[in-house]
């Protein structure tokens, strides 16, 4: 990993770990159920749920992220969500803050929901977080600790291609006068049904 990639990774990890507003929701949703956490990242939700005794497995694409998930190695699946093939079904499936909408192509979205259906136990439930772009402007900037320093965070976005079903979320960080940008290409909810 290059120095720049490493710095982006470390900033993103420190920033992501600050979010805990949804932990209680996911705990109540998952309590007493075999749960699958998709797009698990650094384990922001997975680690909390595991520490609360939830029976949990996690899927994360990036090895640099998944190594921070505090589960037995047999319960951490480092792979593309669309290539994941579980050995069992789950009573609860979760995907935290805006993760699943990183699938931006129609075929990916259709494949994802088809797979969700096959991974879900009878009478199971799925909770997917989708923060619609029409409300992105409500996210506030804030500060957080990064390597003993104050880091400044400001969200930005580009909705110039919303008519094509795309949006770009931009995390902007200012640390010691250095500006770091991380872009996420996401779907933009269309008025027509995806499954036409």
One-character DSSP codes across 62-122: -HHHHTT--S-GGGEEES-GGG---SS-EEEEEE-TT-GGG--SHHHHHHHHHHHHHHEEE
- Measured in Å, how far apart are the chain's first and last C-alpha atoms? 42
DSSP-assigned beta bridge partners for residue 24: none
Report pLDDT digits (tens) over 94-119. 998 767 777 778 888 899 999 999 99
In the chain, what percentage of residues exceed pLDDT 70?
90
Most confident range (mean pLDDT) of 21-25, 129-133, 143-147, 161-165 is: 21-25
Average pLDDT over residues 6-18: 79
Three-state SS for 33? coil
DSSP per-residue string spanning 140-163 = PPEEEEETTEEEEEEEEEE-TTGG
Average pLDDT over residues 49-59: 97
Dihedral angle over CA of 56, 61, 64, 68, nearest 10:
-10
The whole-number pLDDT of residue 194 equals: 44
């Amino acid at each position: 990993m290059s120095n720049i990639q490493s710095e982006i990774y470390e900033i993103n990890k420190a920033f992501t770990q600050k979010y805990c507003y949804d932990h209680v929701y996911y705990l109540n949703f998952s309590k007493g159920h075999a749960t699958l956490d998709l797009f698990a990242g650094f384990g922001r939700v997975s680690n909390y749920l595991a520490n609360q005794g939830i029976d949990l497995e996690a899927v994360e694409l990036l090895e640099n992220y998944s190594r921070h998930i505090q589960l037995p190695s047999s319960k951490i699946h480092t792979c593309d969500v669309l290539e994941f093939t579980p050995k069992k079904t789950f009573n609860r499936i979760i995907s935290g803050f805006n993760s699943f909408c990183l699938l931006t192509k129609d075929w990916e979205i259709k494949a994802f929901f088809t797979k969700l259906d096959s991974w879900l136990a009878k009478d199971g439930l799925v909770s997917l977080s989708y923060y619609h772009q029409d409300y992105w402007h409500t996210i506030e900037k804030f500060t957080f600790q990064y390597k003993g320093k104050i880091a400044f965070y400001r969200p930005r976005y580009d909705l110039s291609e919303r008519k094509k079903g795309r949006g770009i979320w931009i995390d902007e960080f200012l640390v010691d006068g250095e500006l770091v940008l991380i872009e996420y290409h996401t779907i933009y909810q269309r008025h027509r049904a995806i499954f036409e």
